[in-house]
Amino acid sequence: MVSLHLLSLLINLLKVGAYNIVSSSPLRLGIAGLGTVGAGVVRLLCEHADLLKTRTGRLLQVVAVSARDRTRDRGIDVTGLQWYDNALDLVQDSNVDVIVELIGGAEGVARTLVEKALKAGKPVVTANKALIALHGYELAMLSADYQVPLLFEAAVAGGIPAIKTVREGLAADRLLRIGGILNGTCNHILTVMRKTGQEFSTVLKEAQDLGYAEADPSTDIDGLDAAHKLTILAGLAFGRPVAFDSVYVEGIRHIAAQDHIFAQHLGYRIKLLGLARKTQNGLQAHVIPCLIPQYAPLAQVDGVFNAVIAEGEFVGRIMIEGRGAGAGPTASAVTADLVDIARGHAMTLWGVQSEVPEPVRACPISTGEAAFYLRLQVEDRPGVIADITAVLRDYGISLQSMLQYPAEKETLSSAESYASSYVPLVLMTHHLTSESAMQAAVAQIGALRVVTDTPVMIRIETP
């Protein structure tokens, strides 16, 4: 006769799903997408097969794959694997236990594959940041309804265990803010601009030649890639999905070589940061170029590296750093999720055990306050500064400092040289400047006849 206690235990096991029951049988994988990351995952699983079996007690075995071109040489042996031209056929294969989605994109086959796999009761591992950022709420509902895990460690910061850190390592704390340097392409471009004095367009072309930037780099340099990652991190940090379209996004196209030179003179470096924090007005979430103090740990993160910072009530501030992209780091993150599934571990999508919470919208950036760096190109004649400060006065903006740089080439180093009748003027505001007031003032200043080029405004952060 079964005791009530044992019966209750069995019922609870059924509720959490069979994927939490550890098995010694092979975990059979179907991989959709054999690009750089997909091929890297296959290679890692092959080369570390014994190590992974030791750590999980199970063989992690690729049994089926799907990709568009069967003839392409990917540097991996797919002999003996079931090949599907249509990735959706992986879901119907009874020999596949787990779907690994490495196709990419928020819509189309990738989204349909993940949805069908969850509905079929098959766990999913993905590196698809856009899919989670834009459709995380709907996918969390499916994951909860069908009691199937959806894991996505590789979607944020490549090989850095950012998601595990937030969702598991910091589970006992209440987080106050999350973010960091979330795009290696932008960080590389800004680093080279600072070190060489080259302009943005030149460095971008070199980055494309080196393979650090795509032929169409807009997703990276316009901040969308970082915004996808920030949306995911913020949802995990604060326990509910964040509406992607509410995140303010600004790229780095307008940053000039001279901004790096002036920033360095002032004791700062320029980084593209994605930051989310709780405020009295609600959730702030934005991706923006920032001036950060040269002594700040994030200021030391250069090149293609990423860094994630988190701040909690008890833990204080932490930072983790590493390569944010590439076959090796991303394959390692994908496999870490597969290890969790093999061990019978599965977290809810947003790290909360209650019903999937409704998405929260971030506050408009205009509701915030910050300090600002403002660079103007102005006519070199009396009365110019008076005209500009009059506008700032009318909007209640207090200046912390004002620097007028000579136009001589030797003073500006390799920055863009100016005609003798124009000079760069750099203004630094007080740290409690209203964002809305600053935006309005800059628009009016840009319309002044004495201002000869579009003003460049960069926010100042102390991460």
Query: Quick check: 59 and 114 in contact, CB under 8 A?
Result: no
Active site residue 229: yes
Q: Give the active site residue among 116, 122, 129, 229.
A: 229
d(CA 458, CA 104): 32
Give residue for tokens 């001589």: 408
Give residue for tokens 């090149």: 303
Helices 49-56 and 36-47, packing angle to 10 deg? 70
> How far does Cα 166 stand from its chain's mean position?
14
Query: Quick check: 425 and 365 in contact, CB under 8 A?
Result: no
Residue 401 has, within 13 A of its CA and on its CB side, a CA count of 10
Query: Quick check: 157 and 129 in contact, CB under 8 A?
Result: no
Task: State the alpha helices, DSSP H only, in 83-197.
Answer: 89-92, 108-119, 129-145, 162-164, 184-196
Q: Nearest Cα to 181, choosing from 202, 162, 204? A: 162
- Helix then strand then coil, in percent of the chain rounded to 5, is 40, 25, 35
> Annotated active-site positions, please?
229
